[in-house]
A = this chain, B = another copy of it.
Amino acid sequence: MFHKILVAEDLDSISMTVVQALEELSVVEIHHAKYCDDAFLKIKKALHDEEPFDLLISDLSFKPDHRENRLSTGEELIDAVKKLQPNIKMIIFSIEDKSFRIKSLFNNSGINAYVSKGRNSIPQLKNAIQNIFNNDEKIISTDLSHLLRDKSILEIEAYDISLLKFLSKGLILDEIALEFKKSGIIPNGSSSIEKRINKLKIYFKASNNVHLISITKDLGLV
């Protein structure tokens, strides 16, 4: 079994259970951080002391509070960690079930498993840890496994996201065109932007801009 594991999870009500599960798996060294920044520092220090972590189990969303943090989401954390220690194994343990984000975690962030918090997630989590340790498999909660096969997901790119973001902030087409010009993003003609919005409306089956923002907010894109 893994020797040294770090749990990055803000909710005490969850982290206590996860730590207990790890104890049942006979993990020797279990560490825990409530903030992304703390987690990153612990990994950095462990690496420096030549006693690196074998596995990181991280949540995706962390509640903001009074503390200023450099890393504020699980995505930022794992990307930073992967850069620092590429051989570390990573499991995401989150309630998030938006296809876009999960798929990108496997493809872009190189996570080893995704376990969805649910009614029977602790056994799944244990299972994932075992499988990664024994066979180095990629694991995803069974109820989400269709995501990796579905090709229609995630041709949405950064351009579309920032476009949707501007829209959701109440900017009109001409204002968005101006913003794009300022940032050097192309295309930035108001007509092209209009066309792009139209494509998004077709893709998401939205009947107008309001509907489009409503849908994409539900999907967690904005």
Residues of A within 8 A of B (CB): 10-14, 16-18, 20, 34, 63, 65, 93, 95, 117-122, 143, 167-172, 206-211, 213-214, 217-218, 222
A210 in contact with B167 (CB, 8 Å)? yes
On whether the beta carbons of B118 and A168 are closer than 8 Å, the reply is no
In angstroms, Cα B221 to Cα A143, docked, is 29
Copies of this protein, total: 2
Q: Which residues of B contact A143 (CB under 8 A)?
A: 65
Chain A to chain B: the 7 pairs with minimum beta-carbon distance, closest first: A170-B211, A170-B207, A168-B214, A13-B17, A13-B14, A16-B17, A217-B217
Sampled A-B contacts (21; CB under 8 Å):
A10-B118, A10-B119, A11-B119, A11-B121, A12-B17, A12-B120, A12-B121, A13-B14, A13-B17, A17-B17, A34-B119, A63-B95, A63-B119, A65-B118, A167-B210, A169-B214, A170-B206, A170-B208, A170-B211, A170-B214, A213-B214
Query: Which residues of B lie under 8 Å from residue A10 when comparing CB positions?
Result: 118-119
Contact present for A122 and B13 (CB under 8 Å): yes
Question: How many angstroms from the CA of A167 to the CA of B213 in the assembled complex?
Answer: 11
Contact B120 A168 (CB under 8 A): no
Min CB distance A15 to B, Å, is 9
